[in-house]
Homo-oligomer: A and B are copies of this chain.
Amino acid sequence: MGLKKHILVIPGDGIGTEVTTWGKAVLEKIAKDFGHEFTFDEALMGHAAIEATGSPLPDETLAKAKASDAILFGAIGHIKYDNDPTAKVRPEQGLLAIRKGLGLYANLRPIMLFDELLNASSIRPEILKGTDILFFRELTGDVYFGEKKRSADNNTASDLMVYSRYEVERIAVKAYEAARLRGKRLCSVDKANVLETSRLWREVVQEVAKRYPDVETEHMFVDNAAMQLIKNPKKFDVVVTANLFGDILTDEASQIAGSMGMLASASIGDGTGFFEPIHGSAHDIAGQDKANPMASILSVALMLEISFGLQEEAKRVTNAIDKVLKAGYRTGDIADSSTDKSKILGTTAMGQKILE
């Protein structure tokens, strides 16, 4: 009855190693408790891969990724490249290349709130309470992947923002399918009053909308969406948007939820799924046993549910986190003035608590 699954762990950079350790431990525990057989492999990506091989995404990593049933990823990036805009090889290229290489065109980011953490947000609790948003960010198109150029004199730079009909359609369909199973409301975000790509986006979403008459569709400009998310986050159910707008809005929304360290994302397409916390590599706290492992563990819950169809196992994981929070345990990033100091735990102690 148990499933056999092969999982690739890519710790990446900074706190990636610490947090994926606990994600993996939770997978092992679930396998044991539910009688599944999960095997693991590990691979390099990002700064760690550049140091070891010169490439942010070694061929071996992509090959292992394609051969696995799901990927648990940590984080990417290194401060050294951020301040050197002329660097030719950059850690982030690894992430972009694996998204493209695996055809991960849909990035799902659930923005959900643990009641215990309502006070960790800078938004008023009464505005926040009840917020439950599922973002669908397009992940393999847009200005991220369009042609990049420098003029010969080095004085002009350009990036091509580009979308094709099928790219918009397939993510719109995924978003509508999800909306149908949730609150039956979909908000498509674009900048159709200025951008041609957005006008194509809106045309296609309007067409797809006709196939989902049971879902209520709204079109919103991105500047307005950035406001509405703060003003009234509860009004959103499913949000679908382009790669760049999604990058900005999902990070904004995660801060609304007040808990970067608590949010996970799933990137899916037609092949292997890719699961990661939304937080970054946080080099400032790396190796200090301070990182919050819960986003990595929640990524595991998404993997169990989305890639393996294991609802009950996923529920077990989120329940464990819920229980630990209800018992008052916190990592530093989600502690507030009312937290019992003795219940502020490091990465290891928190990972252990959740396993128990």
Contacts and interface: CB of A to CB of B under 8 A. Distances in A.
B202 A148 contact: no
B255 A227 contact: yes
Nearest to A155: B165
11 contacts: A77-B193, A122-B124, A150-B196, A156-B162, A157-B163, A157-B196, A159-B162, A159-B196, A160-B161, A227-B254, A245-B248
Interface stretch (A79-87, A300-308, A313-321): A79-87
Given A143-B143, A230-B255, A260-B227, A158 B196 contact: yes
Interface in A233-276: 244-245, 247-252, 254-256, 260
B158 A146 contact: yes
A85 B162 CA distance: 16
A117 interface: no
Contacts of A173: none
A144 interface: yes
A85 B255 contact: no
A54 B165 CA distance: 31
Contacts of A86: 199, 203
B161 A158 contact: yes
The 4 closest A-B pairs by CB, nearest first: A157-B200, A227-B255, A85-B199, A226-B252
A222 interface: yes
Nearest to A230: B255
A324 interface: no
Given A92-B193, A157-B196, A159-B161, A230 B203 contact: no
A5 interface: no
Interface string A81-111: 1110110001010001000000000000000
Interface string A141-180: 0011010111000011111111111100000000000000
A356 B82 CA distance: 53
Contacts of A150: 196, 200
Contact of A224 (B162, B231, B251): B251
A221 B206 CA distance: 32
Nearest to A258: B231
Copies, count: 2
A92 B206 CA distance: 21
A335 to B, nearest CB: 15
Contacts of A203: 85-86
Contact of A194 (B92, B122, B200, B227): B92
A148 B162 CA distance: 10
Contact of A161 (B123, B143, B229): B143
Contact of A123 (B156, B191, B230): B230
A195 interface: yes
B249 A226 contact: yes
A68 interface: no
A223 interface: yes
Contacts of A144: 194
Contact of A227 (B81, B164, B251): B251
A36 interface: no
Interface string A38-52: 000000000000000
A227 to B, nearest CB: 4
A226 B226 contact: yes
- For A150, A228, A251, which residue has the most chain B Cβ atoms within 10 angstroms? A251
A6 interface: no
